[in-house]
Structure 1
Amino acid sequence: MLTLIVAAAENNAIGKNNGLLWHLPDDFKHFKQTTTGHYIIMGRKTFESFPKPLPNRTHVIITRQSDYKVPENCIVVSSLQKALKSCPENEEVFIIGGGEIYKQAMPLADKIELTRVHTTLDADTFFPEIGSADWQLVSEQFHPKDEKHAFSFTFLTYRRK
């Protein structure tokens, strides 16, 4: 099963200058709980936005750089198709960014785990539109703004129709 996991603002903004637009600890916890123990596929810039590889996950990094050096437990490939082939067939695999990788993966995905951040922000990277003809909302859980979260947000799970 191929799952896109993302936090996106109301205008689908997901990042700017290779960084996140917000700090939402409960969204980080959700991301960690959901992806731990799985293969995570990402573009090179997304990988480089981390201080170090995320623990307990196998990183599959898509880059055009043939000599790109990565730490142990990371796999480098040149396309989304090669990334998918490098993952186990009968396990859930997560696409974690960035914008171009999400766009390529959207037609192939079975599920979307979207954290909808209830704000509109300036960005240079966006998540593709979720078309209602293709996707059905199957669960939602609202999280209000509080002292640790500058914005309210909702965890939304979509499955392909």
Structure 2
Amino acid sequence: MLKIIVAMDQERGIGFNNQLPWSIKEDLKEFKRLTLGHGVIMGRKTMDSIGKALPGRQNYVVTHQSSLPYEHINIVHDINKFFCDKQFSEDLVYVIGGASLYKMALNYVDELIISEVKGTYTCDTFFPSFNEEDFTLNSVVEFSEFTQKRYGRKFK
């Protein structure tokens, strides 16, 4: 199963200068709770912004490069093949960014977990729009600084 997990502001902003524009401990705690013990797939720039493999998770990094200076990662060259052929051993893999990977993954994921951060921030990277008719809003949970919405795919 594939899921997108993303935090975005009210204008769909997700990043600025390859960093999160906010620091919300409660959202990071929720991200860790959900992703721990599962696979995560990210683009190279997202990997660069994190700076190391996320512990307790199988880390996949999409890149055209043959190697990267990080330990405990799996390099993915063909993202469509990865998604279509389910080239991962975990039962659940979270797509964790960035924007271009989110855009590609929207056609394959079973669920979207969106943390809508309250307010707007200076951003240069945005979560792509998606056809909400393809998804059903299954739950809404209010946190102090964000609202978590879960959307399930209606059909594939």
Q: When the two structures are superposed, what TM-score results if normalisation uses the length of structure 1?
A: 0.88
Tell me, in whole angstroms, the C-alpha distance in 2 between the residues paired with 1:126 and 1:32. 22
Tell me, in whole angstroms, the C-alpha distance in 2 between the residues paired with 1:83 and 1:48. 21
Residue 148 of structure 2 corresponds to 155
Shift of 1:70: 2.7
Q: How many equivalent residue pairs?
A: 152
Tell me, in whole angstroms, the C-alpha distance in 2 between the residues paired with 1:69 and 1:79. 20
Residue 147 of structure 1 corresponds to none
Q: Report 1:72-87 matches (<5 A).
A: 72=72, 74-84=73-83, 85-87=86-88
**CA RMSD for the aligned pairs?**
1.4
Q: Report 1:134-145 matches (<5 A).
A: 134-144=134-144
Alpha carbons 1:138, 1:157 under 8 Å: kept: yes
Tell me, in whole angstroms, the C-alpha distance in 1 between the residues paired with 2:29 and 2:67. 33
Shift of 1:49: 0.8
Structure 1: runs of 5 or more not aligned: 145-151
Tell me, in whole angstroms, the C-alpha distance in 2 between the residues paired with 1:55 and 1:13. 26
Q: When the two structures are superposed, what TM-score results if normalisation uses the length of structure 2?
A: 0.91
Choose 49-58 or 25-34, whichever is displaced more: 49-58
3-state SS of paired residue (1:4): strand
Alignment-mate amino acid for residue 159 of structure 1: G
Tell me, in whole angstroms, the C-alpha distance in 2 between the residues paired with 1:83 and 1:44. 15
Residue 148 of structure 1 corresponds to none
Tell me, in whole angstroms, the C-alpha distance in 2 between the residues paired with 1:82 and 1:135. 23
Shift of 1:82: 4.2
Residue 47 of structure 2 corresponds to 47
Structure 2: runs of 5 or more not aligned: none
